[in-house]
Chain A
Amino acid sequence: MLKRAHYIALGLSVFLTLVILNLPGRITARMKLGLGSLYVPLFGLANTVQQQGTRLANTVLPRSELIRQREVLERQNQELRLQAMQTEGMVRENERLRRLLGWQPNKPWKLKPAHVVLFEPSNWWRTVQVDVGSRDGIKVNSAVLTTDGLVGRISSVSLTRSQVVLVGDPNCKVAARVDNASRDTGVISGSGPLESGTVELGYLSRTADLKPGQSVWTSGLGGIFPKDILVGKILDARSEDYGMSAVARVKLAADLGALEEVWIIMEP
């Protein structure tokens, strides 16, 4: 049965929880970052273990496979250089036309690379931690992406680490646009606890022309995510609210379950 010591311990535990939960957000954020920094020495250890695994896998990779991969990469490199040459001409033309119309020129993204060091330990949020922080110029709400597509946004920043809230988390809503004739816009939100690769595009017009395979891009509305970052492709669509609106399931372009390196947009 419960003794006096048990009651005291239980009371203290409840009191401590209530006190910490009611502290101002700024103080709890600092406490979280301070406690989390206890793990900084272990980040290197985890990286070393992963690198050793990769190195071990590389040693058993046959030479013929390496030669094949190099040939594929060389071909890809040539294609990308030709595309870049073409794009450069288009960029110049775009800038000239913008000047003629008196529009603001498009600013190129300033990107910062980062490594994913930790994943979310609980099962009901989708976050990761990256190895760059305020000393690298990272700010809250900066967009995070990979070369495949949108990943999320920065939710908190410490000196050496930042937390990224991923697309599909309840705390990361993204204003998005479908690449179709009517350029339908909606809001991206999570689709379910187990579906990490798909999200839902909601608040779409009931007349939206949605087809599987259509690309979904950030619309730039909302002010957090810059325009024209690829989010994913539509899998299927259904009507909601008794046919008043439509919802589409979107397969994310970036593989959020296997994130290793990401890019953070420093200035939109």
Chain B
Amino acid sequence: MNWISTILVATATFLAVFWEAAFQVFRRLLGVQIDLLPALTIYAALCGSLSTVCLVAGLGGLLFDSLSANPLGISVLPLFVAGLATHVWRDLILKQQVFAQTVLGLAASAAVPLMQLLLLLTAGRAPQLGWGTLWQLIVMSLGGAVATPVLFFIFEWLQQMLSHAPVVETSFRPDREIRRGR
């Protein structure tokens, strides 16, 4: 992953948090806001280095908490744990497969809010919980599952747009050229 990708991921993290706080389309339709940060963490874990995972978890978690009523810093650890778990096993994951991206997005989007809730309860906060929380977790997981391959596609496209095209060897071989003799 080059520095353009790192900048792209950091910008996407910044904008994802703003999108979640400014646009309420999913909350109005389904009663739940979809979290894009787990999906971004999965992308950073599969395509980036450990420092990129730290960047997404640290920046995303702190920005998310700054616009939320969450205690500051509570979202950093769940995002980092999800990112690290994926990063450690990334050599065994077929990261180009949409199915793998979807499953990882689903798992991360389910695990991150659960860990956040666990930390909130451990910190003595009383978030709004009930049977509706189950619906929220299901929608968040499915939303994350759909968002992950979409993010992979967008980042790939952006990288192609912003990077130099790879040099491709031509199939022309001078030694196989048919030379017209006299």
Contact = CB atoms under 8 A, between A and B. Distances in A.
A169 B128 contact: yes
Contact of B68 (A17, A23, A127, A190): A127
A201 to B, nearest CB: 17
> Do most interface residues of chain A lie in helix, strand or loop, or is the interface mixed?
mixed
B131 interface: yes
Contacts of B23: 46
Contacts of B81: 10
Contacts of B126: 170
A171 B70 CA distance: 12
Interface string A97-141: 000000000000000000001111111111101000000000000
A119 B88 contact: no
Nearest to B15: A42
A124 B128 contact: yes
A257 B24 contact: yes
B92 to A, nearest CB: 11
A9 B71 CA distance: 22
B18 interface: yes
Contacts of A257: 24, 27-28
A242 interface: no
A20 B131 CA distance: 31
B132 to A, nearest CB: 4
A16 interface: yes
A117 B58 CA distance: 24
A123 B130 contact: no
Given A20-B72, A31-B72, A14 B77 contact: yes
A195 B54 contact: no
Interface stretch (A33-41, A65-73, A74-82, A226-234): A33-41
Contact of B21 (A23, A34, A121, A258): A121
B48 interface: no
A165 interface: yes
A122 B133 contact: no
A57 interface: no
Interface of A: 1-2, 5-6, 9-10, 13-14, 16-17, 20-21, 23, 28, 31-36, 38-39, 42, 46, 117-127, 129, 155, 163, 165, 168-171, 190, 192-196, 257-258
Interface of B: 14, 17-18, 20-24, 27-28, 31-33, 35, 50, 53-54, 57-58, 62-74, 76-77, 80-81, 84, 87-88, 113, 116-117, 120, 123, 126-133, 135-136, 140
